[in-house]
Chain A
Amino acid sequence: MTALLDIRALSVRFPTAQGELSALDSVALELQPGATLGLVGESGSGKSLLCRAILGLLPRAAFVAPEARIRFGGEDLLRLDSAAMRAIRGRRIAMVFQDPMTSLNPVRTIAAQLIEGMRVHLGLASADARQRALELLDQVGITAPEQRLGQYPHELSGGMRQRVAIAMAIACRPELLIADEPTTALDVTVQAEVLQLLRRLQSQHRMAMILVTHDLGLAAGYTDEIAVMYAGQIVERAATRVLFKTPRMPYTRALIASVPRLDGEPQRRLVAIPGRAATFYGDPPQCRFAPRCERREARCLQEKPALVPAGSDRHLYRCWNPEAA
């Protein structure tokens, strides 16, 4: 089966006073139609930037390496002109953002914001678009949709706003949905509902999804495959179950260990990873996690590890001194 999304050698740099900031380094990903990929990492790891790169929404100052490729359904998104890219955004690839409070325009009605995408991409007439908007609200589980259409974002609760954002995103039946921390800003009780909603929509519409989160526990429950990011690099990538069972990269293991467990012993100290994520300039010949790694060796600070397979082709990791299998 050909991949829906195929990213290769994606490196993104920003010119700063201190030099070229390496925000993404040789990112490579694959996503099959209808599958869910979890993108996990701390803040600053480059997860959001990667999503924006896919959608072509990088800041003006960003410099994308010429050898990078983002193939989507046969086309290289990086080589498209702005009109062609606009035709894809919202129509074939859609995104749900983190904070529902600020994702919706406060001075426009829910209806207007739901409908505009449909009118631009699908050419629907007002009445048809409105009808479809009602269906969408129903699909995302919003009660009294008629009433909601005429309301403004500030009249809805956070959870409802996020559902509206999801409705907006799936309005044109995209093939790929990118969800950037869709539940981080929501109450815990609402989080599970929203994630289940996303899963349901996925299976209904055969939609692939990239679920970005810093919460490994969350990723465990809702993804087929997970890619772990650190300091702009993919450091490990595997099917979800495999990742949790046999993580090879020490960072992954540390992440897993730091997830608080209800079934662990009480009084057990929470494990934290010492130090903070650093920023890197240029292309330093080292492992980026080495400064904080327990298993650091001399080689880790002298040579940059490549992504290598661990047994099967589908489990890749980047480490000179991996955990035992």
Chain B
Amino acid sequence: MIGRVGANVGGRLAYLAAVMLCAAAATFLMFELLPGSLADAILGENATAEDIARLEAELGLDRPLAERFAAWLWHALQGDLGRSHITGEPVASAVAERLPVSIELMVLAQLAALAIALPLGTLAGYREGTRIDRIISGGAFGVLAVPHFVLGILLILVFAIWLRVLPATGFVPFAADPLGNLRSMVLPTLTLALAEAPVYLRLLRSDLASTLREPFITVARAKGLSDRRILLTHALRPSSFSLITVMGINIGHLIGGAVVIETLFALPGLGRLLIEAIIKRDYPVVQGLVLFVAAAFVVVNLVVDALYALIDPRVRHDRRR
């Protein structure tokens, strides 16, 4: 069994490596196609043509495209994602500094979202069509229609401005002050969790409702098992595939930082780094970041794929594309 899973994973890995290579090339090309070169951007508007040419030669920008791409890629594989041309700081170290913040947000938010979606989604799916289901589904639907940033603003309005129990913005590092850290993370976590929970809830509800219509559930009832036991041991696992898929995609996205949330709450994560780099036109940083985020995303997807094999034994024995 391990052998077959291994072979499949190997094949998938090779394919993904190829995709990543193309994605890296696309990232590189995106910025090369910009009007005006990097030297242009650094020197600004008053630079003469000679100044630009000189800086280009210095930075190695006059070498052929393929060569520059290879060099860039080679550096990236070694962990050197370039340098900010504004601060001179290596992108890799900026990433290392800000990644933990984004990850903390992601983990807390996923846990919170599950804490909301699992019980409510199970209840709604189990009692499909009843009033409680309509209330839960309707609520989820309504929350889903509120954009993330509006959710965040509403929460800030209520908790930070009206009730004054939580800080509106700002981040306290965990190492410095654990409690302060958690306090500053409550609103961002809640915002993100409320943004994702409705999706998880609806997926779980619909999958669960349809699993409960399967014949093997009737068989389980005919065996005299209680409803609670049936839900927990028979119904939940087959109903979780869509949920896990979407969770995987979300986690993959969130590794790159929840851009909107971080900006709204002034958290020093990867998302905010990206936005600031874009606004300041710090293209090397944008390039390096996009590459990192894409790579992380692809890796997470691979892990989620492997997770399927753990949950669904049919996948283990028979991987068909």
Residues of A at the B interface (CB closer than 8 Å) are 55, 57, 86-91, 94-95, 97, 99, 102-108, 112, 116-117, 120-121, 152, 154-155, 165, 168
Contact = CB atoms under 8 A, between A and B. Distances in A.
B220 interface: yes
What class of interface size applies to chain B in its complex with A?
A: 20 to 34
B163 interface: no
A94 B222 contact: yes
B64 interface: no
Kindly name the residue among A105, A116, A152 whose own CB sees the greatest number of chain B CB atoms within 10 A.
A105
A117 B225 contact: yes
B224 A117 contact: yes
B102 to A, nearest CB: 34
Contacts, number: 78
**Chain B interface main SS type:** helix
A154 B224 contact: no
Given A120-B229, A152-B314, A57 B214 contact: no
Contacts of B314: 106-107, 152, 154
B218 interface: yes
- Enumerate the 3 nearest inter-chain pairs by beta-carbon distance, A residue then B residue, closest first: A90-B224, A89-B224, A90-B223
A116 B225 contact: yes
A28 B214 CA distance: 30
B313 A152 contact: yes
A162 to B, nearest CB: 12
Nearest to B129: A60
B289 to A, nearest CB: 39
A87 B223 CA distance: 9
B207 to A, nearest CB: 13
B96 interface: no
Nearest to B241: A107
B87 interface: no
Interface stretch (B24-32, B184-192, B230-238, B271-279): B230-238
A55 B234 contact: no
B224 A104 contact: no
Nearest to B214: A102
B224 A108 contact: no
A165 B219 contact: yes
A251 to B, nearest CB: 29
B245 to A, nearest CB: 16
A277 B311 CA distance: 44
